[in-house]
Chains A and B, each alone.
Chain A
Amino acid sequence: MKSLLSNPWLELATRFVAGTIFIAASIEKAADPAAFTTLIENYKILSPQLSLLVASTLPWVELVCGFAILFGWGVRGGALVLGLLTVGFTAAVISGVLRGLDISCGCYTLDPDVGRIGWRKVVENTGLLVLFLFLVYSTGTRYTLEAWLSSRTGKEGAVN
């Protein structure tokens, strides 16, 4: 367990997968908040105004945290934020499924015919949560931007 947590290659691979997923998922939604608002309203959880507010900001959080995780700058923070968001998304999907809503997830695309909510989504999200939990606790941070920057400044310090 301990060696898994400190394995830098596993950390790098996990960051690549989790970061890429959220960057890819967020771009279309960030660019078209109006369409995303409709998808959020379909869940019938938030008011139209709150849906608009969430649709305008949430994709940007996904995008920034996705990049943070992919490049390795603030990985723990990005993983914590996206992990908490994923818990929220999963709760919304479960409540939608239990209420018998047949709606588009709004997870990866704005296309209303793709990715309808269901238990499969819940399983997918649980998998994502494992990745984020790993990234919060992983100490294998050798191949991150942060480690690279601090090694550079470290070398310069040695020269001076």
Chain B
Amino acid sequence: MPATPIIRTAIREGIVLSALSLVLALFYNGVTGKGVFAGDWSRPSKSPLAAAAPEIISLETAADLQRSGAALFVDSRHAFDFRLGHIVGAINIPLQESDAAIAVLAQPKGRTIVVYCDGTECNSSLEVGSKFTAAGYGKVLVFFAGWSAWKQAGLPVTEGAR
């Protein structure tokens, strides 16, 4: 198998294809004003996980924190889902209302906050968690496995609004 000429061909073709791709990418993004041409190079990261990302905790850690009462549990799901069932002791702060709710929340900034939502199907726990961090709360944890894992594990739940 003559490997070297084949690899040389592959490298040459690869360079041509990559160059073609870059031209197309520049053209498309330039024409539509997207991507590198969107003009927001210095924008803060939109990723809920980037930089000051809240720490993600396991079901066991969440259960320990709930049992000891050391943390305030925040349920970021919709109020309707919250009324149907939530972790004992949790308060409801849906993402849509989170800015106002966090602003008026009377909790010491050093208090441990555990945010959760449905589970891996939702990201609102991460986003609400980031908002708690941005609001100055020092210890914000995200229980990412969330409500579905909690319920499945048979841990304490309750119903109704709060």
**CB within 8 Å of B: which residues of A?**
5, 30, 32-34, 37-38, 41-42, 44, 48-49, 52-53, 55-57, 59-61, 63-65, 68, 74-81, 100-103, 112-113, 116, 136-137
A interface, over-half SS: helix
Interface residues on B, range: 35 or more
Tally inter-chain residue pairs, CB-CB below 8 A. 119
CB nearest to B121 among chain A residues:
A113
User: A56–B9 contact, CB under 8 A?
Assistant: no
User: A57–B21 contact, CB under 8 A?
Assistant: yes
Contact with A along B21-56 (1 / 0, CB 8 A): 110110011000011101001011111111001001
User: B46–A37 contact, CB under 8 A?
Assistant: yes
User: B56–A64 contact, CB under 8 A?
Assistant: no
- Interface status of B105 (Cβ within 8 A of chain A): no
B14 to chain A, nearest CB (A): 4
Interface centre among B7, B45, B56, B121, by most chain A C-beta atoms within 10 angstroms, is: B45
Interface centre among A37, A77, A100, A103, by most chain B C-beta atoms within 10 angstroms, is: A77
User: B28–A30 contact, CB under 8 A?
Assistant: yes
| Distance between Cα atoms of A77 and B144 in the complex (Å) | 42
